[in-house]
Amino acid sequence: MNEEKISSRFIYFFGAFGGILFGYDIGVMTGALPFLEKDWNLYNSAGIVGWITSAVMFGAIFGGALAGQLADRLGRRKMILISAIIFAVFSVLSAIAPNNGSYYLIIMRIFLGLAVGAASALVPAYISELAPAAIRGRLSGLNQTMIVSGMLISYIVDYILKGLPNQIAWRLMLGFACIPAIILYLGVMKLPESPRYLIKDGRPDEAQKVMSYVRSSEGEINNEINQIKETAHKEQEAQKTSWSALFSGKYRYLVIAGVGVAAFQQFQGANAIFYYIPLIVQKATGQAATSTLMWPIIQGVILVIGSLVFMWIAEKFNRRTLLMFAGTIMGLSFILPAIIRWIDPHASQMMIVVFLCIYVAFYSATWAPLTWVLVGEIFPLAISGRAAGLASSFNWIGSWAVGLLFPIMTASMSQEVVFAIFGVICLFGALFVKTCVPETRGHSLEEIESRYSKAK
């Protein structure tokens, strides 16, 4: 390990930079899809469009689970480096897809999804294992700011490139994703390994040194190191962690809570907006989707502002309070347009876009970042890698399903009805938090484990 002291700001920045990586790829297809549809004449191929869009999320289902397991063996840092390499390679391979090569592009984007899923599981875990409990929510919110910043960057790139010929525009949009991957790789090369992983791997001296980068006093370092050692010692005496251990009586409550929140975050329908907003506006206004690329930028700005609001409120309110309140507002934002259109069939079609903006504002300030704060906080060390990977996989299953089914659903029913269905899911998500999720704000990872796992 490098003997030179590493700045805590540098560690937190590049620890969260993986968010830029998959934020860009989540957002880039929003602008690339209208040009790809024109280039390959996919207007009547809702299934192919859904698969091309959702292929990254399909790969991410497996990437999250694999990364969770491998991170427990190889460490968080090494797995983030591997993810960056995979991401760069398959971004370029996606950009050079042969003409009308729908299946080739789907396969390349599935492999790209392995890296996206890995990053979504590894980055929150890495930040949570380094951050002090008092600022863990705010620092995990930095990851969300990186994600939405990556999305906004992709929207801006899409807008800048929209004047190019169709066959060139979408290829450049997809290919530019390799740039944040290269930056991430170079930054993470200088990062230390997670102290919790180092202790679990039998390297307490290295863990103490890493702690000195991100803790202010010797007493604080020693206290937390001792806590981690005590927890790790108990786990070493037990049998090697297996998948079945996640659902044992000891851990079941925490696993259901973390995985459930991660699943609800996506089944609520947010990515239908992020992937298809140009097509949503096209259906509402009649304008060509390629001429509505300012709307993704508006959504991206709302997302970034929302993530900054979260960093301000993260440690001021309980996690559960924010999730229940915002989930209710998000549900109503989806349901009200359907009710209004039922009462007044002649109501403006743009009304749904206004309500979508309200949804995005509340989602970006609460559910989007808080899901990964909880995933990073709620799982005990013995199962953290696998459980975080499982939560990430369920999250991506939801994302993939929404990305695949939304164009098919809107081809057979009105947008208002589709979003009303998502609205009901939002309300169920708020109810799930109320009944199944413990409060984690301000508690160390060891305290959370002690309080909620031994009696469950």
DSSP states of 316-360 as a string? TS-HHHHHHHHHHHHHHHHHHHHHHHHH-TTS-TTHHHHHHHHHH
**Looking at residue 137, what is its pLDDT?**
64
Between 14-28, 153-167, 276-290, 415-429, the lowest mean confidence (pLDDT) is in 276-290
Say whether pLDDT at 238 is over 60. no
**Looking at residue 454, what is its pLDDT?**
53
**Residue 70 · residue 79 · CB < 8 Å:** yes
Structure tokens at 311: 């960093």
Distance separating alpha carbons of residues 176 and 153, to the nearest angstrom: 11
Distance separating alpha carbons of residues 189 and 207, to the nearest angstrom: 17
Burial string for 330-362 (b: 16+ CB within 10 Å, else e) reads bbbbbbbbbebbeeeeeeebebbbebbebbbbb
Q: Which tops the pLDDT comparison, 238 or 414?
A: 414
Distance separating alpha carbons of residues 42 and 426, to the nearest angstrom: 32
Mean pLDDT: which of 231-235, 238-242, 243-247, 390-394 is highest? 390-394
Section 202-206 average pLDDT = 82
**Looking at residue 455, what is its pLDDT?**
47
Structure tokens at 272: 């239908």
Domain boundaries, the chain: 8-452
**Looking at residue 120, what is its pLDDT?**
74
**Residue 374 · residue 240 · CB < 8 Å:** no
Say whether pLDDT at 383 is over 80. no
What rounded mean pLDDT belongs to the chain? Answer: 84
Residues 6+ apart with CB under 8 A from 63: 83, 113, 114, 115, 116, 117, 118, 120, 121, 396
Say whether pLDDT at 224 is over 90. no
Section 45-65 average pLDDT = 87
Percent of the chain as helix, strand, coil, to the nearest 5: 80, 0, 20
Mean pLDDT: which of 246-260, 308-322, 420-434 is highest? 420-434
Say whether pLDDT at 41 is over 80. yes
Distance separating alpha carbons of residues 167 and 138, to the nearest angstrom: 42
pLDDT-derived band at 366, boundaries 50, 70, 90: very high
- CATH number, span 8-452: 1.20.1250.20
Q: What is the pLDDT of residues 249-304, one digit of tens each?
A: 778 888 899 999 999 999 999 988 888 888 888 877 777 766 678 888 998 999 99
